[in-house]
Amino acid sequence: MRFQQLSIRSFRNLKDTTLEAGPEGAVLLGANGEGKTSLLEAIYFPVLFRSLRGASDQEIVRFGEPGFHLGLRFEARDQSHHAAVTYRAAGRKKEHVLDGEPLRRLADGAGIWVAVAFLPEDVRLASGPAAGRRLFLDRTLALADRQYFTALATYRHALGQRNAALRAGRLDLARAFDAPLTRAGARVVAGRLAWVEQAQAGFRDELLALGEPRATADLGYAGPVELADPEAWPAALDAAAARDQARGATTVGPHRDDLRLCLEGHGVREFGSTGQQRSAAIALKLLELETLRQAAGEAPALLLDDVFAELDQERQERLATRLRRVGQAQVFITSPRADELGPGMELPVWRVRGGGVSVED
């Protein structure tokens, strides 16, 4: 999977430009605040047609402009595609186009272009609350499996309707959403459990490659695994009915579960060092890359924002070695200076200054 050309108009602090990329990718060099992360965000945007940093569309518009436009020409599965998104702040209107045809549903275009991004704040995958790890699971599996995508959307809709009824004090109306919640929720739990089982060995391998002991790394699922079976839901929902009514929210389901990361028998979030937490987060991102590679039959683009920061020299060298083995992935990596990159990261150089991008010969 290769991005070939990117057109940017009024996006973040970036100057309007059209960039062409080679199959290997590029190193983005520049001081902090010059636009390196915004450029990665623009490359990633057509994956789900939204910000990888969780920003609203309005927040992405360059100051003083009426909206933004992005166009990405790329190759996937030996076919050429063009994805475009135009946002107009007036009326908050957003248009999505894939290969010249307007998208009626985002689901029809999501995941045609696939990339995996690692930002500095992604260390919270290991050090932060469960919500971030649930989002990681759901994004990875939704992009890899269309049925999971559909089940997740159905589950979230039923959950929202059920919770609205509970807040209104209508337990009877809330229970009317039990059936769709059950069907979709069981599919979500089953999908997550299958991924965790398949990814356990890979998690250990990635941490070993990054310098952590293999035998003590563990990846697990924290939640009632019996809910992978739809027949287990009625009893669970019945048992939680009084609690749900009192809290005005559904207290049973995968929206409350977690992904458990352990080293040496202890939770990485609670007991891991800063280096261990960063290694665990990077390992998850590499697992995401492999999951999407297997699903698509080719490697997604890999977008790495200052990934070597806060790693000691040994971990930097190990990570650089691992990144050189990502197969045919197109890699874009940012750094303030070339000497802060890991050894052997030899890619074309893009200089980013004041939102402008210049390609070095």
Tokens standing for 115? 């990339």
Q: What is residue 274's predicted lDDT score, i.e. its pLDDT?
A: 86
- Rounded to two decimals, the pTM is 0.89
The pLDDT tens digits of the residues spanning 294-330 come to: 998 898 999 999 887 777 778 778 887 787 777 678 9
Nearest partner of 287 among 177, 163, 84, 133, judged by Cα: 133
Tokens standing for 189? 């739990």
Q: Assess contact for 152 and 192: CB atoms under 8 A.
A: no
Nearest partner of 330 among 72, 73, 120, 21, judged by Cα: 21
Helix H or strand E encompassing 274: helix 274-296
Q: Which amino acid is at 334?
A: T
Q: What is residue 234's predicted lDDT score, i.e. its pLDDT?
A: 97
Residue listed under structure tokens 């360059």 = 62
Rounded-to-integer distance, Cα 160 and Cα 178, Å? 12
Can you list the residues of the chain whose pLDDT is less than 70?
213-215, 327, 342-344, 361
Rounded-to-integer distance, Cα 252 and Cα 250, Å? 6
Q: What is residue 342's predicted lDDT score, i.e. its pLDDT?
A: 66
Residue listed under structure tokens 């939102």 = 355
Number of neighbours of residue 91 by Cβ within 10 angstroms: 7
Which residues, in sequence order, are CB contacts of 232 under 8 Å at separation 6+? 186, 224, 226
